[in-house]
Chain A
Amino acid sequence: GAGVSQSPSNKVTEKGKDVELRCDPISGHTALYWYRQSLGQGLEFLIYFQGNSAPDKSGLPSDRFSAERTGGSVSTLTIQRTQQEDSAVYLCASSLSSTNEKLFFGSGTQLSVL
């Protein structure tokens, strides 16, 4: 596709369950970022991948959060044992490289933890 694609667009889960959120970046973009947008808050950086380098995980809020990027393309953000405070919009963005400042954002996954 032409843009960054995220799925699902909405996810409702029960507290304690695991969830997986998917991001398909723009073809050819080597840098991929995950951000979290909580209600009334700005975007919070979570993690980024650049090519085959080790990801920068400095923004992950706890060890319940993890992400991987397979084949330098699609990425999956996994949240284990979800808590109500995990409810937020999870945004994925990609760019040509980590030294290119123009981010292209997906529409996000709205996660609701009941």
Chain B
Amino acid sequence: ILNVEQSPQSLHVQEGDSTNFTCSFPSSNFYALHWYRWETAKSPEALFVMTLNGDEKKKGRISATLNTKEGYSYLYIKGSQPEDSATYLCAHQKSNQFYFGTGTSLTVIP
């Protein structure tokens, strides 16, 4: 069992603020790191899949970085909007198995 940890557990920010979350995972035998966005009453949707140390990916105002040597990934949201309110999950993929963190719940206050 791989221990994937996410912090903080929850976060409230004002509209327009920038914010970031952390996902930590065991650095040995790294395969891939996934980020998913999970809105209430919906199913998780993929944001990024990263495989290489130093990877940086961006989608609009959301970006992510990856450090496989020390076992962490950051997710950044620039200029948060109310529609960014969701739970953000990370998952460590080891071959055909995925190990999810408990997520960071983001609430953006208008």
Query: Do A and B interact with each other, yes or no?
Result: no
**Which A residues lie at the B interface, using CB under 8 A?**
none
**Which B residues lie at the A interface, using CB under 8 A?**
none
